[in-house]
Homo-oligomer: A and B are copies of this chain.
């Protein structure tokens, strides 16, 4: 009696059968108390519960999953890790996921569509209950795969081409417009536009910006400057542009990460904002306490993550969804990098 079953390999532990024996009942009944809902005589239930606690039993996730119960794991894939934008998104996601007792399987694609696809396939093989994906492109193959696998998912920081796919995204076009209107009220002779990694949000920001900028401005557009380091290479160009211009110049950098790089690099040669004003986008943490606090477009990054997670949780529990396309309104935050 009482002898615990000998195990073939590994360090498996006490099972539901052991608990059943110890509590003088059957696996089925133990399973019932484990899963709450079913009716079990109170005394029985109590007896079982106490045995479970005494032995610190915790059911085997894999057996459970095999038997058809969801894994309670959510896959999260972001484009980049060392980027305060994404870390904040993830913190938002984590805050609601942990509330709902989901755990997350997180990976990053490094802007590589192929790696993104690999990760998503891995997640599917792991039977995650759902996925949050910061898609590298609106038509990313990963989106199609996810859809084909008919697993609940929401795209974040990107508006997918497929209108059936739920997403949470900042209103980038509107954000660009905001910046344009702001500058229209001022008086710069020349406007420089520097675009970050050339993905959908960046394109929309620039488009919204250019569509609404007063035409009289002299516009120079530099595209695809993805990183802060790249941004710094722009120092000379910008300084040169400023010299050529009679009056002050403004540069709109379509993401804060790069904007901060730009700012740092030109700070020694020109006065900010007197000679060169800078406007960023995202309002990541460092934007408010970099050398010259950055005027930028805020889009509540944390909530972008938390909304996405909430949406996903609803999707999974098949709650009636009010709205599965969430566009977050941007806000202009004026700080010291512009006059």
The chain A residues found within 8 Å of chain B, CB to CB, are: 8-12, 58, 60-63, 65-66, 68, 73, 81-82, 84, 87-88, 90-91, 94, 103-108, 122, 125-127, 149-151, 228-229, 232, 261, 264-265, 267, 285-286, 289-291
Contacts and interface: CB of A to CB of B under 8 A. Distances in A.
Contacts of A8: 68
A288 to B, nearest CB: 9
**Copies of this chain, whole number:** 2
A259 to B, nearest CB: 13
A8 to B, nearest CB: 6
Contact of A108 (B9, B94, B103): B94
Contacts of A127: 61-62
Given A11-B151, A103-B105, 19 more contacts: A8-B68, A62-B62, A62-B66, A62-B127, A63-B66, A73-B126, A81-B87, A82-B88, A94-B107, A94-B108, A103-B107, A103-B122, A103-B126, A104-B106, A104-B107, A105-B106, A228-B286, A228-B289, A291-B291
Contacts of A265: 289
A125 B229 contact: no
B232 A261 contact: no
Contacts of A286: 228, 286
A261 B286 CA distance: 9
